[in-house]
């Protein structure tokens, strides 16, 4: 059972990456009293147990911080009291919500001319469940631009098509990835807009020139 007293079967969780976890295994009866141990993928993990006031033998396994390496690991509780009988065991696997490992805009940085179309590609991996990708520019979500998404082998890809103008020069486009099940798990990468455009030329009369004196 977990720290809330809920009985677990086969799959426990999902728990959040980095979270504290307490798992309790209890054995009842037997002569002599059983030894209760925890095992991880066949290796002894915890052999500290005690007898409760109700006569149960309990072993509480504490995992201070769940890591990615704990994802789908098999934990087995065994109760044994003599070499003459087979141990009784129960196993569970740990399911995790995991943060993205990285997010990266894969389009190479380059200068653009006014009127150029721009496609930016972004990818992220490692999130469970799948990360949500959102594009930003000038502190605003880009909602009206053409976007595409797909996921393959735990890598999520997103593309966006832009037509930046003169006013977009110097702005930053951000690709942000976040696990929807883990608040504050977002990661981001940036792409700087460098827009080349011709100068604007304007003519005006000097301070001492009057329109009436100008002849064609």
pLDDT along the chain (216 residues), means of 10: 65 92 88 88 91 88 95 93 81 94 94 87 93 92 74 86 88 94 92 82 62 56
pLDDT at 145: 64
Residue 45 lies in a domain: yes
Contact 164, 112 (CB under 8 A): yes
Give the pLDDT of residue 182: 92
If asked whether residues 47 and 78 sit together in one domain, one would say: yes
91 CA to centre of own chain: 27
Contacts of 113 (CB under 8 A, 6+ apart): 195, 196, 197
Query: For the chain, how many structural domains are there in total?
Result: 2
Is residue 214 one of the residues assigned to a domain?
A: no
Which pLDDT value is given to residue 54?
86
Q: Tokens in use for 146?
A: 């053409």
Are residues 130 and 56 located together in one domain of the fold?
Answer: no
Asked whether residue 115 falls in the same domain as residue 175, the answer is: yes
Q: Where are the beta strands (DSSP E) in 28-181?
A: 35-40, 43-46, 50-51, 57-63, 74-80, 88-97, 102-105, 111-113, 118-125, 132-137, 140-141, 146-152, 155-162, 172-178
Expressed as residue numbers, the domain containing 112 is 102-196
- Among 97, 114, 147, which residue terminates a domain? 97
**What is the model's pLDDT at position 191?**
95
The reported pLDDT for the residue numbered 5 is 59
205 in any annotated domain: no
Q: Is residue 109 part of a domain?
A: yes
Q: What is the pTM of this model?
A: 0.75
User: Residue 32's pLDDT is what?
Assistant: 80
């Amino acid at each position: 059972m977990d720290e809330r007293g809920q009985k677990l079967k086969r799959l426990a969780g999902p728990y959040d990456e980095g979270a504290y976890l307490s798992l309790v295994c209890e054995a009842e009866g037997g002569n002599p009293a059983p030894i209760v141990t925890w095992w991880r993928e066949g290796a002894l993990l915890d052999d500290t147990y005690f007898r409760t006031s109700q006569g149960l033998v309990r072993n509480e396994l504490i995992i201070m911080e769940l890591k990615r390496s704990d994802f789908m690991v098999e934990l087995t509780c065994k109760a044994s009291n003599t070499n003459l009988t087979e141990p009784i065991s129960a196993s569970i696997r740990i399911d995790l919500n995991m943060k993205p490992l990285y997010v990266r805009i894969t389009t190479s940085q380059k200068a653009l001319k006014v009127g150029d179309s721009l496609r930016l590609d972004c990818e992220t991996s490692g999130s469970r469940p799948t990360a949500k990708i959102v594009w930003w520019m000038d502190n605003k979500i880009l909602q009206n631009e053409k976007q595409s998404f797909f996921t393959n082998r735990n890598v999520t890809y997103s593309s966006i098509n832009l037509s930046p103008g003169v006013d977009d020069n110097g702005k930053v486009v951000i690709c942000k990835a976040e696990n929807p099940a883990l608040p504050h798990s977002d990661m981001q990468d940036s792409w700087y807009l460098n827009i080349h455009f011709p100068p604007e030329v304007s003519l005006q009369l000097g301070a001492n020139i009057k329109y009436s004196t100008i002849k064609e």
